Structure formats: structure tokens, C-alpha cells
Amino acid sequence: MVGNADLRSLPRDCTPPQNTDRSKMYLSKIVHGFKSSVTRMIRKQWNHHRFGWQRSFYDHVIRNDEDLHRVRTYIQNNPLSWELDEDNRTNWKMGNADLRSLRRTR
């Protein structure tokens, strides 16, 4: 789920760009290409022209099993905290103090 869009119906058969030296494919270029492709598909399939991504992303090199476990746990639990996130538009009516008190009760 990205925003309000269910992406399960998007095609899974993504092919890498042709004539590209893969040794020069930095993560930022890969993420940019992915976001561009998905944005075009969403705007075309669902006529959702206001769709957008957050400006940046966080990348991290996973160095061991403990690190991998921590990242997996974060990915699994992150959507659960969206309802209390300050960036969630449904929370903009509430003040930050209200959000902090809600977080403490969970």
C-alpha cells in the first residue's frame, strides 16, 4: 500500500534498462527509475495525477544477521505506526502534543 493506492495490481515483470553499465547503477538511480515507472503506471491506470512520493529515501548497508533482523522488523512494524505519524494528513487537524500523547499510550 502506497498512500491510498493498492499496488498489488501493478505488473511484476520489470526489466532493467538496456545498454546500461550495471557497475554504474547507483542505488539512487535505481530508486529514481523505480519511482518514475511506478508513478507513470499509477497516473495512467488509476488517473491519479496528484500521486507523489516522499522526496528522499534512507539507504543502509546490511552487514550482519542482527542488522537484517532489525531492518525486517522495522519494515513489518512501520505501517502500523502510520496512523500516528505527523506526516499523515488525517493527523494534521491534531496538534503535535496530541500525537505525542497518543504515541505514549500505545
- The residue among 68 and 84 whose pLDDT is bigger is 68
**pLDDT tens digits, one per residue of 5-29:** 555 555 566 665 566 666 666 878 8
- The pLDDT-based confidence of 55 (bands split at 50, 70, 90) is confident
- When the pLDDT of each residue in the chain is averaged and rounded to a whole number, the result is 74
Using an 8 Å Cβ cutoff, are 86 and 102 in contact? no
pLDDT for the residue numbered 16: 58
pLDDT for the residue numbered 72: 93
Say yes or no to pLDDT of 91 above 80: no
DSSP for 36-71, please give it: HHHHHHHHHHH--TT----S--------SHHHHHHH
DSSP for 23-39, please give it: GG--HHHHHHHHHHHHH
- The pLDDT-based confidence of 95 (bands split at 50, 70, 90) is low
Q: Which residues contact 106 (CB under 8 A, 6 or more apart)?
A: 84
Q: Which residues contact 96 (CB under 8 A, 6 or more apart)?
A: 86
